[in-house]
A and B are shown apart, each in its own frame.
Chain A
C-alpha cells in the first residue's frame, strides 16, 4: 500500500512524506529498537511510540519505509529532519499501537487482521 493509504487506514496524518514510490508491504509493531533491527520485515511500516531521531536511524538500517508514531506523540525537529533526509515517512496517529496495528493489518490483508 502507499503511504496515503497507510495514513488513511490508521486515521493518521502524514508529517513527513516517504519516498514518492514507497510501497509498504508489511507492518511491525515494537518499541524496542534492538528488536526492530533484528526482526522487522522488509519494506515495513513501523508502528511505535519511539518518537526520537534514533528511530529514523533504525529505519534506514532495517529498510522501514514509514514510521507510524502512536498516541499523538510529538515529533521532535531533529527526528523530522532526519526522516526527510533519509526519505523515511512519518505518520502521526492518535491511535494506540494495538489499534493502529489492527487497522493497518486489516488494510494490508484486505479484511482480516494479520
Chain B
C-alpha cells in the first residue's frame, strides 16, 4: 500500500482553503494512495469530516495532528480513531499558548463537515508551540494508543535535529519522516536504525501524491504501521528535485 501520514486540511494555518477533507480524499484515490492521515497543526477538529470523506472514496484513513512541542519540534501523532485524535487534541489545547488567531496572517482555520460546509472557525492560534516537551508528547500519544513520527527531520527548522541537536534516543519517536526533497541515503546515515517514512506535508492539493511511503500492510492501522516500522519494512518514494 502507498500511504501518506502527513496531510494538512484547511484547518491548518498556511494551508489552502482548497484542502477540504472531501477534496483530499478524492485526490488521494485518484493519485493512487491507499491510506492517508490528516495531520493539522495542533488540532484534529477536521478528523471526523476526513473519516466520512475517506470512507466515501474508499481510501483508508488514520487520524492525527502535527504537534509543536515546547522545543519547537514538530511531531505527528497518529491514531486509529477520531476519538483518540480528539483526546490528543484536548491535551494539546490545554497546553497551547493561548492566542487568538489572526486570519489575515494565518488564514481562517475552518472546521468543516464532510460536505465542505464551514461549521466554525477555530479561534485558537494553531501555528505555534505548546508548553509540552517532546518527552511529554511521546508519553501522552503512546498512552492514547498512537504513533509518534518526528516530522520532516531533514528540514533546518522545526525538526528534531534542528531543535534538539543530538538525540538521546528516548524521545519516543516510532519513526522519522523525510520531506519531499530529502536524499534518503544521506539521511539514513544520520537517522541510523530509526524507521523512516516519506510524506508530502501537503498544504495544497497539488502537493498530494507526489511522494509517499510504501509497505506491505495487512490493514492501514497503527498496529500494522508499528509492525512494519519494527521490521524496517518501509520503502520511500524517490525525492523530488524541487520542493
A residues with a Cβ closer than 8 A to B are: 32-34, 37-38, 50-52, 54, 57, 60-61
Contact = CB atoms under 8 A, between A and B. Distances in A.
B72 A32 contact: yes
Interface residues of B, number: 13
B157 A34 contact: no
Task: Kindly list the 6 A-B residue pairs having the minimum CB-CB distance in the complex, ordered from nearest.
Answer: A34-B129, A57-B105, A34-B128, A32-B72, A52-B157, A60-B105
How would you classify the secondary structure of chain A's contact residues: helix, strand, loop or mixed?
Answer: helix
Given A32-B72, A57-B106, A61-B102, A37 B157 contact: no
Interface of B: 68, 70, 72, 97, 99, 102, 105-106, 127-129, 156-157
The interface residues of chain B, by DSSP majority, are classed as loop
A8 to B, nearest CB: 28
B93 to A, nearest CB: 16
Given A32-B72, A50-B157, A37 B105 contact: no
A33 B128 contact: yes
10 contacts: A33-B72, A34-B70, A34-B128, A37-B99, A38-B97, A51-B156, A52-B157, A54-B157, A57-B105, A60-B105
